[in-house]
Chain A
Amino acid sequence: MTAIDTTRPVAPARPPFFRRRSAVPGFALTLGLTIAVLSTVVLIPLFAVALKAGHQPPSEFLKEAFSARALAAYRLSFGAAFLAAAVNGVFGLVTAWALVRYEFPLKGLINGLIDLPFALPTAVAGIALTALYAETGWIGALAKPLGWKIAYTPLGVVVALTFIGLPFVVRTLEPVMRDLSADVEEAAATLGAGRIDTIRRVILPALMPAWLTGFALAFARGVGEYGSVIFIAGNMPYRSEIAPLLIIIQLEEYKYAGAAAIAVVMLGVSFAMLFVINAIQAWARRRA
Chain B
Amino acid sequence: MSDHPHRLAHEDAPWLKAVVLTVVAAFLVLVLLLPMAVVFVEALRKGLDPALEAIRTPDAQAAIKLTLITAAITVPFNAVFGVCAAWAVAKHRFPGKALLITLIDLPFSVSPVVAGLIYVLIFGAQGWFGEWLLDHDIKIIFALPGIVLATIFVTFPFVARELIPLMQEQGVDEEEAAVSMGASGLRTFWSVTAPNIRWGLLYGVLLCNARAMGEFGAVSVVSGHIRGLTNTMPLHIEILYNEYDFVGAFSVAALLCLLAVVTLVLKTLLEIAQPPSRRVGH
Residues in A lying within 8 Å of B, measured CB to CB: 17-20, 22-27, 30-31, 33-35, 37-38, 41-43, 45-46, 48-49, 52, 91, 94-95, 97-98, 101-102, 104, 108, 110-129, 131-132, 137-139, 162-163, 166-168, 171-172, 175, 182, 185-186, 188-190, 194-195, 198, 213-214, 217, 220-221, 223-227, 231, 243-245, 247-248, 251, 254, 256, 259-260, 263, 266-267, 270-271, 273-274, 278, 281
User: Which one of B9-17, B53-61, B132-140, B194-202 contacts A?
Assistant: B9-17
B69 close to A (CB within 8 Å): no
Contact A42 B281 (CB under 8 A): no
Contact B216 A17 (CB under 8 A): no
Of A41, A48, A115, A278, the contact of B264 (CB 8 Å cutoff)? A115
Q: List 22 A-B contacts (CB under 8 A).
A: A26-B87, A26-B189, A34-B89, A38-B103, A41-B149, A43-B103, A48-B127, A49-B114, A98-B24, A101-B11, A110-B28, A118-B211, A119-B263, A121-B213, A124-B39, A128-B35, A166-B32, A182-B8, A195-B12, A227-B216, A244-B111, A254-B126
Task: A127-B39, A132-B38 given; name 8 further pairs at CB < 8 Å.
Answer: A30-B85, A112-B265, A113-B28, A172-B281, A217-B280, A224-B109, A226-B113, A247-B111
* Main secondary structure on B side of the interface with A: helix
- 0/1 per residue, B22-57, Cβ < 8 Å to A? 011001101111111011001000000000000000
| Chain B residues whose C-beta falls within 8 Å of the C-beta of A244 in the assembled complex | 111-114, 217
**8 Å CB contact of B88 from A27, A226, A270:** A27
B237 touches A127 (CB 8 A): yes
A24 contacts B241, CB within 8 Å?
Answer: no
Query: Complex: how many Å from CA A220 to CA B108?
Result: 9
B142 in contact (CB, < 8 A): no
Q: Are B221 and A251 in contact, with the CB atoms below 8 A?
A: yes
Q: Please state if A94 and B20 are interface contacts (CB–CB under 8 Å).
A: yes
A20–B91 Cα gap in the complex (Å)?
11
A116-B261 Cα distance, complex, nearest whole Å: 8
B220 located at the interface, meaning its Cβ lies under 8 Å from any Cβ of chain A in the complex: yes
B253 contacts A128, CB within 8 Å?
A: yes
Q: How far is the CA of A29 from the CA of B14 in the complex (A)?
A: 59
Decide: A37 and B117 in contact? CB cutoff 8 A.
no
Contact assessment for B214 and A124 in the assembled complex, using a CB-CB cutoff below 8 Å: yes
B14 to chain A, nearest CB (A): 11
CA distance A253 to B103 in the complex (A): 32
In the complex, what distance in Å separates the CA atom of A52 from the CA atom of B128?
Answer: 10
Instruction: Output the nearest chain A residue to B13 by Cβ-Cβ distance.
Output: A195
Question: Across the interface, which residues of B come within 8 angstroms of A41, CB to CB?
Answer: 149, 152-153, 156
Residue contact B92 to A24, C-beta cutoff 8 Å: yes
Count A-B pairs with CB separation below 8 Å: 308
Known: A121-B215, A274-B106. A195 touches B1 (CB 8 A): yes
A278 proximity list for chain B (CB < 8 A): 102
Complex: chain B residue closest to A124, CB-CB: B253
Q: How far is the CA of A139 from the CA of B38 in the complex (A)?
A: 11
Query: Is there contact, CB below 8 Å, between B117 and A263?
Result: yes
In the complex where A104-B21, A247-B114 touch, is A31 in contact with B92 (Cβ < 8 A)? yes
In the complex, the answer to whether A123 meets B237 with C-beta atoms within 8 Å is yes
Given A23-B179, A121-B234, A30:B84 Cβ within 8 A:
yes
Q: Which residues of B contact A101 (CB under 8 A)?
A: 11-12
Instruction: Write out the residue numbers on chain B whose beta carbons fall within 8 Å of the beta carbon of A115.
Output: 264, 267
Which residues of the partner chain B approach A171 to less than 8 Å between Cβ atoms?
A: 279-282
Residue-wise interface mask of B (92-111) relative to A, using a CB-CB cutoff of 8 A (1 in contact, 0 not): 11110000101111111111
Interface string of B121-158 (1 = CB under 8 A from A): 11010111000000000000000000001001100100
- CA gap between A124 and B263 in the complex, in Å: 15
CB distance from A179 to the nearest CB of B (A): 9
Q: In this complex, which of B21, B27, B113 has the most chain A Cβ atoms within 10 angstroms of its Cβ?
A: B113
B113:A38 contact, CB within 8 angstroms: no
Is B260 interfacial (CB-CB < 8 Å)?
Answer: yes
Is B121 in contact with A48, judged by CB distance below 8 angstroms?
Answer: yes
B35, A129: Cβ atoms closer than 8 Å = yes
Asked, given contacts A129-B35, A225-B111, whether A120 binds B256 with beta carbons under 8 Å apart, the answer is yes
Q: Are A162 and B31 in contact (CB under 8 A)?
A: yes
Q: Is the CB of B93 within 8 A of A256?
A: no
A119 & B92 in contact (Cβ 8 Å cutoff): no
Does B229 make an interface contact (CB < 8 A)? no
Residues on B with beta carbons closer than 8 Å to the beta carbon of A52: 121
Q: How far is the CA of A172 from the CA of B103 in the complex (A)?
A: 21
Instruction: Find the residue from A41, A188, A274 having the highest chain B CB count within 10 A.
Output: A41
Verify B9–A188 contact, CB threshold 8 A.
Answer: yes
Least CB distance from A138 to B in Å reads: 7
B210 at the interface (CB under 8 A from A): yes
Docked complex Cα distance between A31 and B217 (Å): 31
Q: Which of B85, B127, B189 has the most CB of A within 10 A?
A: B85
Chain A: which residue is nearest B209 at the CB level? A119
B127 vs chain A, min Cβ distance (A):
8
Q: List the A side residues contacting B10 at CB < 8 Å.
A: 182, 185-186, 189
Query: Which B residues lie within 8 Å of A127 (CB)?
Result: 39, 237, 241, 249-250, 253
A163 touches B32 (CB 8 A): yes
How many whole Å from B196's CB to the nearest CB in chain A? 13
Could you tell me if A189 and B85 are in contact, using CB atoms closer than 8 angstroms? no
